[in-house]
Chain A
């Protein structure tokens, strides 16, 4: 949406290229922009989000889950919980949907050059970090050690299962995957325990490191103290916040947490910024 004279609420049209069921209720859609100019020029940074629409149902807000380093397509990943997400789930390859974006701020990836990265995610909150993970892996030599601690309630609830397998294979990534107690099947080859506990066990070093955390509020609540214990300062911990959004561009007045607009000042925040916010998210 670079033309200032355009209707800022008008979406780009995108074709659903591929539908991937990550879990029984979480789906990835790979999208290709229909307009050639948009296809060639659309660019974004890891952490940004878009407003995805199923025409007739409305728009919904998700991060752009693919890496900015991959061209020709973007991906979104979501759970069917409401009218719009359920309509998006009814889309098949070849169908048209709308995309408005990219919106929001992004991970300051340049500030992470030369540092060790520790990604901590839970359940369906992996996508906002996955974009950054692939961005970093595509620029692997710019970063130090990369550790990924990821867990879900059960094996079935893990998203990006194929990529987890890929990351497990790589020698330049340390993947620690876990499921909640009772969530493991007989063939589970990962850890068993809640993410904060497993993170503490894995004890990634905080020296010259950045932690990137994304998960449900209860996971964040117990993960931040673990990171602090491991020696991560508030400025070295990043997270993404989610809030009910509509316009995605700072006008409809809905997504604010205190005086912070998640769609404009976020969705990427440091732990210090999150702690300074009033607790209304």
Chain B
């Protein structure tokens, strides 16, 4: 269903949700940096910039507890986490490159073993997307099959209108429910035109062709040239809407503590390092190769999807200027030769 909402009504919507005790999360400045944070007031929302980290952390937090343990003599008491820790949430200001990654992540988090930490949050979260009217030359969502107004992953997608306010289109029951519950704040779409959408910044990639090259070129000299400059940090993986690797550790003392999971990255040297000292990915080009392979081949092999939404964060934030869109361009060129 398509409706329209004026700017002041949008603010009123957020206030109504906050007042009802719903956790409203949107782009907000924290110590100067734009991140997805719980809002206490609508005017905290900042919508003119892409948040530094993606919205995946609303479902897959940077760090979270899995259990608590406490030893008493030879016994150990293990406590599960409190199920009440997954509150009802509405995410707002979510760009298509962030929202579209969430259904992609559904596949791995429900592969045979259902990860309730992710799935329970999914069930209790409504995603209100926001279409993009500007882009920079790091954006490449259109090159990987998405668009500045792609509705995938959004329950309700807002498109900015000339003169203010938004067109609001529901794409799921949750989106529909939001429109119904706050029907007084929405009106029928009028004559206001949507603002022009952001222009594509690069030509579309032939992901099938790229994958076909990756299928055959695990061993290729090209990886040295592409990846020797990679210094092996986790910035790209952590800011990425689709990367989901994690580590599990016990923290505390031998007597009591917690088991936690937290973000990890295949770029780190110790990601695949065995206790014996053996490391199957002992040099950086092998680790970087795994990143590209996982995103553009393995995830497709396993789940039929690409693990990249073209948000461009890794391009902007890589300490050494590795440009994943540039890498894909290079691969596509090789695939064509």
Residues of chain A at the chain B interface (Cβ within 8 Å): 1, 4-11, 13, 15, 53, 55-59, 81-82, 85, 87, 94-98, 217, 242-244, 246-247, 249-254, 256-259, 261, 264, 278, 280-281
The answer to whether A7 and B80 touch across the interface, beta carbons within 8 angstroms, is: yes
The answer to whether A56 and B66 touch across the interface, beta carbons within 8 angstroms, is: no
The answer to whether B275 and A246 touch across the interface, beta carbons within 8 angstroms, is: no
Residues of chain A within 8 A (CB-CB) of B67 are: 7, 9-10
Residues of chain A within 8 A (CB-CB) of B297 are: 259
The answer to whether B261 and A9 touch across the interface, beta carbons within 8 angstroms, is: yes
The answer to whether A13 and B78 touch across the interface, beta carbons within 8 angstroms, is: yes
The answer to whether B264 and A7 touch across the interface, beta carbons within 8 angstroms, is: no
Residues of chain B within 8 A (CB-CB) of A11 are: 78
Count of inter-chain pairs, beta carbons less than 8 A: 135
Known: A53-B250, A250-B108. 7 other contacts (CB 8 A): A1-B113, A8-B114, A10-B67, A11-B78, A55-B71, A81-B275, A243-B280
Residues of chain B at the chain A interface (Cβ within 8 Å): 66-67, 69, 71, 74-76, 78, 80-81, 108-109, 111-117, 218-219, 244-250, 252-255, 257, 259, 261, 264, 266, 271-276, 278, 280-281, 286, 290, 293-294, 297-298, 301-302
Considering the chains assembled together, what is the distance between the CA atoms of A127 and B190 in angstroms? 72
One of A57, A94, A259 near B302 (C-beta < 8 A): A259
Considering the chains assembled together, what is the distance between the CA atoms of A82 and B274 in angstroms? 9
Residues of chain A within 8 A (CB-CB) of B280 are: 243, 257, 280-281
Considering the chains assembled together, what is the distance between the CA atoms of A59 and B111 in angstroms? 21
The residue of chain B having its C-beta at the shortest distance from the C-beta of A96 within the complex is B76
Those 10 A-B pairs whose CB atoms lie nearest each other, nearest first: A82-B275, A253-B245, A56-B254, A259-B298, A278-B218, A96-B76, A259-B301, A81-B275, A55-B69, A249-B113
The A interface, classified by DSSP as helix, strand, loop or mixed, is loop
The residue of chain A having its C-beta at the shortest distance from the C-beta of B257 within the complex is A56
Considering the chains assembled together, what is the distance between the CA atoms of A58 and B76 in angstroms? 14
Considering the chains assembled together, what is the distance between the CA atoms of A243 and B75 in angstroms? 31
The answer to whether A96 and B75 touch across the interface, beta carbons within 8 angstroms, is: yes
The answer to whether B76 and A55 touch across the interface, beta carbons within 8 angstroms, is: yes
Considering the chains assembled together, what is the distance between the CA atoms of A246 and B78 in angstroms? 19
A276 CB → nearest B CB, Å:
11
The answer to whether A247 and B248 touch across the interface, beta carbons within 8 angstroms, is: yes
Residues of chain B within 8 A (CB-CB) of A258 are: 218, 293, 298
B11 CB → nearest A CB, Å:
38
Considering the chains assembled together, what is the distance between the CA atoms of A81 and B219 in angstroms? 31
B122 CB → nearest A CB, Å:
14
Considering the chains assembled together, what is the distance between the CA atoms of A5 and B86 in angstroms? 14
B85 CB → nearest A CB, Å:
11
Indicate whether A8 sits within 8 Å of B116 (C-beta atoms), given known contacts A56-B257, A254-B271, A258-B293: yes
A21 CB → nearest B CB, Å:
19
Residues of chain B within 8 A (CB-CB) of A59 are: 248, 250
Residues of chain B within 8 A (CB-CB) of A8 are: 113-116
Considering the chains assembled together, what is the distance between the CA atoms of A68 and B143 in angstroms? 51
Indicate whether A58 sits within 8 Å of B244 (C-beta atoms), given known contacts A98-B78, A280-B286: no
Considering the chains assembled together, what is the distance between the CA atoms of A225 and B153 in angstroms? 51
Considering the chains assembled together, what is the distance between the CA atoms of A243 and B266 in angstroms? 14
A2 CB → nearest B CB, Å:
11
Considering the chains assembled together, what is the distance between the CA atoms of A7 and B260 in angstroms? 13
Q: List 28 A-B contacts (CB under 8 A).
A: A7-B80, A7-B81, A8-B113, A11-B78, A53-B250, A55-B76, A56-B69, A56-B71, A56-B250, A56-B252, A58-B250, A58-B259, A59-B248, A81-B276, A96-B71, A97-B76, A98-B78, A242-B274, A246-B264, A249-B112, A250-B108, A250-B111, A253-B244, A253-B266, A259-B302, A261-B302, A280-B281, A280-B286
Considering the chains assembled together, what is the distance between the CA atoms of A85 and B276 in angstroms? 11
Among A53, A55, A254, A281, the one with the most B-chain Cβ atoms within 10 Å of its Cβ is A55
The answer to whether B246 and A246 touch across the interface, beta carbons within 8 angstroms, is: yes
Indicate whether A251 sits within 8 Å of B272 (C-beta atoms), given known contacts A9-B259, A10-B80, A56-B254: no
The answer to whether A246 and B248 touch across the interface, beta carbons within 8 angstroms, is: yes
The residue of chain B having its C-beta at the shortest distance from the C-beta of A16 within the complex is B74
B269 CB → nearest A CB, Å:
12
